[in-house]
Amino acid sequence: MRILPVSLVALTLAACGGAGGGTATVPAEAVAAIDTATIMGHIRALADDSMQGRAPGGIGEERAVAYIENQFKAIGLTPGNPDGSYIQNVPLVAITADPRMTLDLKGKMRASLKYRDDFVAWTRHVDSEVSIKDAPLVFVGYGVEAPEYNWDDYKGLDVSGKILVMLVNDPQLPDTNAFRGKAMTYYGRWTYKYEQGMKHRAAGVLIVHEAALAGYPWAVVQGMGGEKFDLAAADSNRARAKMEAWIHFDRAKALFAAAGLDFDSLKARATTREFTPVPLDVTASVSIKNSIRSVASRNVAGKLEGSDPALKDEYVVYTAHWDHFGLGTPVGGDSIYNGALDNASGTAALLDLAKAFKAMPAAPKRSILFLAVTAEEQGLLGSQHYSVSPLYPLAKTLANINIDGLNTEGPTKDLVVVGMGASELEDYARDAAAEQGRILKADPEPEKGFYYRSDHFNFAKQGVPAFYADAGTEVIGQPADFAMKQREKYTNEDYHKPTDEIKPEWNLAGAVQDLVLYLTIGYRVAQAATYPEWRPGNEFRAAREAQLRP
Residues binding Zn ion (CB under 5 A)? 342-343, 404
For β-strands 466-470 and 414-417, DSSP reports them as: antiparallel
At residue 363, φ and ψ (nearest 5 deg) are: -65, 155
Nearer Cβ to Zn ion (398/403):
403
SS (H, E, C) 432-464: HHHHCCCEEEECCCHHHCHHHCCCHHHHHHHCC
At residue 157, φ and ψ (nearest 5 deg) are: -70, 135
CB of 495 vs Zn ion, minimal distance in Å: 9
CB of 65 vs Zn ion, minimal distance in Å: 17
CB of 16 vs Zn ion, minimal distance in Å: 38
**CA distance linking residue 230 with residue 380, whole number of Å:** 9
CB of 549 vs Zn ion, minimal distance in Å: 34
CB of 376 vs Zn ion, minimal distance in Å: 5
Residue type, 226: G
**CA distance linking residue 241 with residue 430, whole number of Å:** 43
**CA distance linking residue 452 with residue 403, whole number of Å:** 14
Nearer Cβ to Zn ion (68/360):
68
Nearer Cβ to Zn ion (77/340):
340
Nearer Cβ to Zn ion (342/352):
342
**CA distance linking residue 97 with residue 292, whole number of Å:** 9
**CA distance linking residue 239 with residue 203, whole number of Å:** 10
**CA distance linking residue 475 with residue 407, whole number of Å:** 10
* Rg of the chain on CA atoms, in Å: 24
Instruction: Say if residue 1 is exposed, middle or buried (CB neighbours under 10 Å; 0-12, 13-18, 19+).
Output: exposed
Nearer Cβ to Zn ion (314/404):
404
Count other Cβ atoms within 10 Å, centred on residue 33: 21
By C-alpha distance, which of 98, 241, 78 is closest to 166?
241
Nearer Cβ to Zn ion (45/341):
341
Nearer Cβ to Zn ion (352/404):
404
CB of 439 vs Zn ion, minimal distance in Å: 25
Nearer Cβ to Zn ion (69/404):
404
**CA distance linking residue 10 with residue 517, whole number of Å:** 12
**CA distance linking residue 142 with residue 173, whole number of Å:** 12
Nearer Cβ to Zn ion (343/408):
343
Q: If you ran DSSP here, which 8-state letter would residue 187 be given?
A: G
Nearer Cβ to Zn ion (342/426):
342
CB of 320 vs Zn ion, minimal distance in Å: 9
By C-alpha distance, which of 9, 183, 198, 279 is closest to 538?
183
CB of 342 vs Zn ion, minimal distance in Å: 4
Going through 342-465 in order, the beta strands assigned E by DSSP cover: 367-373, 397-402, 414-417, 439-442
Nearer Cβ to Zn ion (342/427):
342
Quick check: 124 and 233 in contact, CB under 8 A? no
CB of 152 vs Zn ion, minimal distance in Å: 34
CB of 404 vs Zn ion, minimal distance in Å: 4
Nearer Cβ to Zn ion (404/514):
404
CB of 175 vs Zn ion, minimal distance in Å: 34
**CA distance linking residue 312 with residue 366, whole number of Å:** 4
Question: Quick one: angle between helices 509-527 and 36-46, nearest 10?
Answer: 100
Q: SS3 of 238, please?
A: coil
Nearer Cβ to Zn ion (32/224):
224
Q: If you ran DSSP here, which 8-state letter would residue 15 be given?
A: T
CB of 96 vs Zn ion, minimal distance in Å: 22
CB of 456 vs Zn ion, minimal distance in Å: 11
Which residues 6+ apart lie within 8 Å of 527 measured at CB? 22, 24, 364, 365, 366
